[in-house]
Amino acid sequence: MKYGVMKQKQTVFRLHTSIGRFSEQWLKALRYLWLSPVLTVSVIALQSTGFLQLLDWATLDQFIRWRPLESPDPRIVIVTIDEPDLKKLGQWPIPDAILAKLIEKIKAQKPMAIGLDIYRNLPVQPGHQDLLKVFKTTPNLIGVEKVVEDQNRASIEPPPILKDQDQVGAADLVLDADGKIRRALLSIKPPDHPTVLNLGVKVALIYLEAQGITPEMTANQQVKLGKAEFTRFTENDGGYVRADDNGYQILLNYRGSQNDFLKISMTQVLSNETPPDFFKDKIVLIGPFAQSLNDLFFTPYTSNLFSINDRTPGVIIHANIASQIISSALDERTLIYVWSDRMEWFWVFVWSTVGSSLGWVYGGTRWTVYLLILASGSLIIISYGAFLSGWWLPLVSPLLALVSSGMVVTAYIANVERQDRKMVMTLFQRYVNPKIAETIWQNREDLLQKGQIMGQKMIATVLFTDIKGFSSIAERMEPSTLMTWLNEYMNAMANIVFEHDGVVDKFMGDAVMAVFGVPIPRNSPQEIAKDATAAVSCALAMGEKLRSLNQQWQQQNQPMISMRIGIATGIVVTGSLGSSQRMEYTTLGDSVNIAARLESYDKSFYSEGLCRILINEETHKQINDKFPTRYVGRVQLYGRQQLINIYQAIND
């Protein structure tokens, strides 16, 4: 075969190999990436049970604590009733006279609205008539009632006068299962009663009405106030699962805790220590701060649920509700938005695919862990950045999908690799040296398909060796002695093949078949020449080893032998051959037949030599005069019609 033809065929092989590898990569990707949708469905199913709900809430709380502090809302002032105030008063509830005096002093500075977050359904003498007079003459005063009876408190009626004047707001707050308040109940509709607005909503609407802003209902039944549109909370929004969404609720975008609002104590107000115009044109909320009054709640700012001191007064929560409504309507301060269920599911799938991809590309290496950590950090940063822009994106479920997909695919790959390695090593470990075995394993992706090594066309050099006159030797030796003697010979020849980076294809009686250039295809002329050179060098080393063995056997009174070797370079097909019970790696093709025929060619030719080595013309071209050779002739080998040129490698 001419070199030009060989080179052209090599190019064709490389093209087919590239196309084949591309297709195989897609098939291998599908082999692992199918786990992504399965894990996505599993994570979504787990999320739908509510198992991840507490973690989602904890993530939201952490984001709220992480974000930069906002400046106090200058439109809201809190009049606090704390422990020193109670100590000075000497009693609780506050007498009506004191409460009337407090409201009058606030009213004197002309606030925009006053919210009284103290239940006053019964008179507290002295001064009840004074308080009633204040209620009648203060149209911007909003009292409170507890609309819904729950496990903590029964419903509480509002002051009758304020109720008749429609100056009452609901003090009800919505607690999540962990006891924290993350939602604002803007309004509630008791059975057979009119809708009641939240205290914070009532005072906020009074403030906005003075700015010419009133509520409007949009086409999709949302409430629009100025620049803001308030989307009603539904049971599965964000990290919630089947939450109680009665009433008109929104996610509460806290402005801050009790330290983030303007405050002044009741004692300071009553003692005329209020700065001038401190309340002017502001919303003033009056409410208890004292621990002993227990009007305290857990919020996202509560980092320790076991600490009773780390709680927020109810009046501060109403202040946050009022601030959120006013700031959104006037300043376009962001609300908290959530995705639809389908968008959240897609987001989980995206990160599950990222995890599967990392597991597939880097599975079985420490980079998998590093990159999963990096991807997890990226997901957290993306979610936090989105939260700063007003979006509460799911974090726990995509994070779980990312990590589980990466680890499951890695584990799956490890299991597949363990099976593949067992199969590859079963096929090769007896026939190659450790270096070749490791190379085979590193290139397993190009070799294995469906648990076996598929047939591949490639250019390789095949070596056949046989013992001259073995039959007569076998007749004269005891079977056990023959087996020991033959194993010593085979072991020596196989080791030489290993030393020259060849593969022992098979042992056939006294014959050895070795191949150079498999199972990894050679794609360059230099690699093909290197294999041919290694084969001839191996044959010469076999001859030298046989000389040493003969000297040893002569001293042991064992038979001394000579050998024949045939070598041919050309196209072969390699792959797994056999059944599911027994499979071997082997090499087939015309070059194999030529090497076998060269070994058995004219057994009388060069019969006096210790090791006769015949090579075909392609091998002769590839070794490029690296070894001494002589031209034998153009001959017809047994079983072949075409004549070929053969050469003898000289073994001095």
Higher pLDDT, 46 or 445: 46
Q: Is the pLDDT of residue 9 over 50?
A: no
Domain boundary among 399, 431, 463: 431
Asked if residue 198 and residue 282 are part of one domain, the reply reads yes
Enclosing H/E stretch for 199:
helix 199-210
Instruction: Give yes or no for a cis peptide into 519 (omega within 30° of 0).
Output: yes
Examine residue 427 and state whether it is found in any structural domain, yes or no: yes
Q: Which region among 20-29, 128-137, 414-423 has the lowest average model confidence (pLDDT)?
A: 20-29
What are the tokens at 304? 């320790």
Asked if residue 263 and residue 152 are part of one domain, the reply reads yes
Asked if residue 285 and residue 175 are part of one domain, the reply reads yes
Examine residue 436 and state whether it is found in any structural domain, yes or no: no
Asked if residue 364 and residue 294 are part of one domain, the reply reads no
Q: Is the pLDDT of residue 451 over 60?
A: no
Asked if residue 198 and residue 149 are part of one domain, the reply reads yes
Check which CATH number belongs to the domain holding 541 and give it: 3.30.70.1230
Nearest to 184, CA basis, from 262, 294, 300: 300
Higher pLDDT, 545 or 218: 545
| pLDDT given at position 105 | 97
pLDDT digits (tens, 9 = 90+) for 231-274: 999 999 999 999 999 999 999 999 998 888 999 999 999 999 99
Asked if residue 69 and residue 20 are part of one domain, the reply reads no
Examine residue 444 and state whether it is found in any structural domain, yes or no: no
| pLDDT given at position 430 | 54
| Inter-helix orientation angle 3-33/35-48, to 10° | 10
Are residues 396 and 53 in contact, defined by beta-carbon separation less than 8 angstroms? no
Q: Is the pLDDT of residue 175 over 90?
A: yes
Q: Is the pLDDT of residue 21 over 50?
A: no
Asked if residue 621 and residue 594 are part of one domain, the reply reads yes
Going from the C-alpha of 519 to that of each of 150, 375, 516, the distances in angstroms are: 76, 37, 9
Asked if residue 198 and residue 263 are part of one domain, the reply reads yes
pTM score of the predicted model = 0.69
pLDDT digits (tens, 9 = 90+) for 342-377: 999 999 999 999 998 888 777 666 788 899 999 999
| pLDDT given at position 154 | 82
| pLDDT given at position 15 | 44
Domain boundary among 303, 338, 373: 338
Examine residue 311 and state whether it is found in any structural domain, yes or no: yes
Q: Residue range 468-483: average pLDDT?
A: 88
Domain boundary among 398, 431, 464: 431
Higher pLDDT, 651 or 230: 230
Higher pLDDT, 433 or 163: 163
What are the tokens at 466? 């046989």
Examine residue 215 and state whether it is found in any structural domain, yes or no: yes
Examine residue 437 and state whether it is found in any structural domain, yes or no: no
Beta strand 76-81 with 283-288: parallel, antiparallel or unpaired?
Answer: parallel
Asked if residue 34 and residue 95 are part of one domain, the reply reads no
- Number of structural domains the chain divides into: 3
Examine residue 445 and state whether it is found in any structural domain, yes or no: no
Q: Residue range 143-167: average pLDDT?
A: 89
Domain ranges, residue 579: 451-649
Asked if residue 365 and residue 512 are part of one domain, the reply reads no
> DSSP code of 575?
E
Asked if residue 127 and residue 12 are part of one domain, the reply reads no
Burial class (CB in 10 A: 0-12, 13-18, 19+), 435: exposed
Q: Residue range 412-437: average pLDDT?
A: 62
Asked if residue 351 and residue 321 are part of one domain, the reply reads no
Examine residue 380 and state whether it is found in any structural domain, yes or no: yes
